[in-house]
Structure 1
């Protein structure tokens, strides 16, 4: 198989996996604007003496409802139940209390109703009834239910497995319906759980985005000012899997000889999954498709630009053909409520213009602190790579600082960044501005 056909087949397979991972069809029929189909907002009324409003925290509404239902179910007489059923009921209520204490509630991330049950959302957060089911039959079985009935009320779920399980819980079907909350769409600040977009590190973090990042690289050698434009985009599906693409264009200005360079194209798939609380694991893998030129000036220009972001340096190796894999761990609120820590590592394998195949490991770390809608970031990134096909591989590091407006709401999150190559810090530094749109 020729290289071009191999790349085409790989791209088709990647996209097929993405398209096959959509959310299940949303059932139509039942509808409610309250927290529960049977009890409505009775729990909130009892607690606060008023109906809930859009200003009330979503997690608070869910928690109040589950506490209210848990208390009601514990007060119910179990005299008519068999000893085995009483034991199963007590176990179910203990699990419901454990779920409530854990405090990780899903969101309606795809149904047009304002409020809808969501068995497992795209970040892996499971609903209350789903949690009881999962504790008995496992996550794989719960995933099978979510695949067919993600947004269904219990009475809409025509699953023999779920019906059979319900008879073993010690709870009546109506009681399970009383437990099942409805969920709103992700709130404006939900995206903050995922942390802000870092400027120096890998731009693909398992969320949908479009980013335009122009900037200037000031070179102490005085041979012009490269103007660079980074373009990147990703589209994530309902199961946390999606496609991404990135390319960069650079133009040298103010020099005797004009030059421009286009980076190699990076295309592939990214997948994000919640680890615990507001911490995330993101895996990605892609192809390096050569587009860059190999003339001396263009190659030199790419080498200068690569120093800005070592974790992306292989993109600026003219003619690089190969692949890349990487992993990121994003720890939100791990040590303070306004902090995010990101750690990442990856490996690139490529051959530039049919020269010897080589590997380039890369790594990075970033710390972000949020104050209201402003986020400050300190990052470091490194990689081992050769600046040109004729040079030997060596370590390269850059340190960066960024300030960004990031409320977590969909829309533009502009930022300004400054990065300095540590191995050549007196020679060049990069000042950039990026306009990132989350959606």
Structure 2
């Protein structure tokens, strides 16, 4: 190689080295496993004395925002102009309204990490985005989300956001303090929907224990059935679990009072998410005879079926048989705070060991959640015989219920329900109350 070629080659190598040394490394993407980039999970530890668990996402976000709101309210505003002070007060009130509403987004694009989410795929907006939206309108918020959906405040290169931030009365650091990060795990009620009062208590949850009582008011003078319901279910990590349900009914005020312990419903169920977050629940079990084998026990069916007509076969004394069923739970149906549930099933049983009877059953429920109160409208029906001698007929009941949802994925959820049979006019109605403990 000639000297000139050697010099040229050396110059190229030297230039490449200089370029490589002079090029700054690509900035690392910001990341945190906490609910906030600056404050971490300080708010949760201060309130509960421990770090949050993965199943407390909704509570985790709310506690953080409540803590930041209190911090910002306590900060001095002496250095602000009157206009900036008014803007700050206005935005803090908006933040309080946002926290009260409790509709937080979910990180639907990064299941492996916590990320801010300006607006999620269901239209739920983050706290900072909500403040911007209230001032500039939803079109501006959507434009920023289109380019910076999962970005931290300091990563958002938007002159529009910068100009807005300068008018909020809040420092950029304070907006960063507000901005939560989100996991990809949806809140519990959104995943499974609430426990309905008229439909089958079994759903896709990991487990529950429920105890409920009720009174039936009947204008026909046949007595007042008083009912006690017990049910429990536990599901493993594979989606397979077991359940048991039993009811005790006392018929009082009639010529002949009777205590009728219903057939026990005992079996297995399988639950898993399908079709973009919807839940499918399959169940199969046995109807085990435990009740009084007489006409009085059977006649209770006419009345107490108003509570759960889909389970009326359980009040056929001595009924021995099997049960199959399926439920589809659709979270965020029609709106982000709504849930839809559809039920269908078939019971095959033999009362008093006589000929087999087939009892199809069905039901539908719609719920709407506002903060911690869930309102539910339900209808359920089935084909069953009211008494041992009666021919099978179709029966329906409609129900309205209210339930306090748990603040996390576990906790007590008391509920109050009113159900009315739809056959032969409104002649009786059932008022029930239950307390359900969910284990997640």
* Short-chain TM bin: 0.5 to 0.7
What is the TM-score with the length of structure 1 in the denominator?
0.60
Displacement of 1:423: 0.5
For the 8 Å contact 2:298–2:388, the answer to whether it is kept is no
User: Which structure 2 residues correspond to residues 370-389 of structure 1 after superposition, within 5 A?
Assistant: 370-389=369-388
* Closer/same/farther in 2, CA of residues 103 and 287 from structure 1, 3 Å limit: farther
Q: Name the CA distance, whole Å, in 2 between partners of 1:40 and 1:51.
A: 20
For the 8 Å contact 2:111–2:184, the answer to whether it is kept is no
Q: Match of 2:313? A: 314
Displacement of 1:104: 7.6
Q: Name the CA distance, whole Å, in 2 between partners of 1:186 and 1:318.
A: 45
Matched, 1:437 2:425: no
For the 8 Å contact 1:44–1:51, the answer to whether it is kept is no
| Cα shift readout 1:209-241 (whole Å, capped 9, x = no counterpart) | 001110001111123211100110001111121
* Closer/same/farther in 2, CA of residues 218 and 246 from structure 1, 3 Å limit: same
Q: Name the CA distance, whole Å, in 2 between partners of 1:381 and 1:437.
A: 24
Q: Name the CA distance, whole Å, in 1 between partners of 2:327 and 2:197.
A: 14
| Cα shift readout 1:356-402 (whole Å, capped 9, x = no counterpart) | 11211111000000000000000000111111222111110000000
| Cα shift readout 1:276-313 (whole Å, capped 9, x = no counterpart) | 44320111000011111122222212332123311111
Q: Match of 2:170? A: none
Q: Match of 1:111? A: none
For the 8 Å contact 2:295–2:388, the answer to whether it is kept is no
Name the stretch that deviates more: 415-424 or 256-265: 256-265
Other structure's SS at 1:222 match: coil
> Which structure 1 segments of 5+ residues have no match?
1-38, 62-99, 108-114, 116-182
For the 8 Å contact 1:201–1:309, the answer to whether it is kept is yes
Displacement of 1:354: 1.3
User: Which structure 2 residues correspond to residues 51-200 of structure 1 after superposition, within 5 A?
Assistant: 52-53=40-41, 102-103=108-109, 105=111, 189-200=187-198
Q: Match of 1:201? A: 199
For the 8 Å contact 1:278–1:333, the answer to whether it is kept is no
For the 8 Å contact 1:272–1:282, the answer to whether it is kept is yes
Q: Name the CA distance, whole Å, in 1 between partners of 2:358 and 2:365.
A: 24
Other structure's SS at 2:40 match: coil
Q: CA RMSD in A?
A: 3.1
Q: Name the CA distance, whole Å, in 1 between partners of 2:31 and 2:184.
A: 20
Question: Which stretches of structure 1, 4 residues or more, deviate above 6 A after TM superposition?
Answer: 54-57, 183-187
For the 8 Å contact 2:297–2:315, the answer to whether it is kept is no
Other structure's SS at 2:361 match: strand
What is the TM-score with the length of structure 2 in the denominator?
0.60
* Closer/same/farther in 2, CA of residues 206 and 184 from structure 1, 3 Å limit: same
Q: Match of 1:126? A: none
For the 8 Å contact 1:216–1:226, the answer to whether it is kept is yes
Q: Match of 1:74? A: none
Q: Number of residues paired by the alignment?
A: 286
Matched, 1:43 2:41: no
Q: Name the CA distance, whole Å, in 2 between partners of 1:431 and 1:228.
A: 10
For the 8 Å contact 1:44–1:50, the answer to whether it is kept is no
| Cα shift readout 1:56-77 (whole Å, capped 9, x = no counterpart) | 9969x9xxxxxxxxxxxxxxxx
Displacement of 1:319: 0.8
For the 8 Å contact 2:287–2:322, the answer to whether it is kept is yes
| Cα shift readout 1:240-275 (whole Å, capped 9, x = no counterpart) | 211000010011223343211110010001111011
Q: Match of 1:215? A: 214
For the 8 Å contact 2:301–2:387, the answer to whether it is kept is no
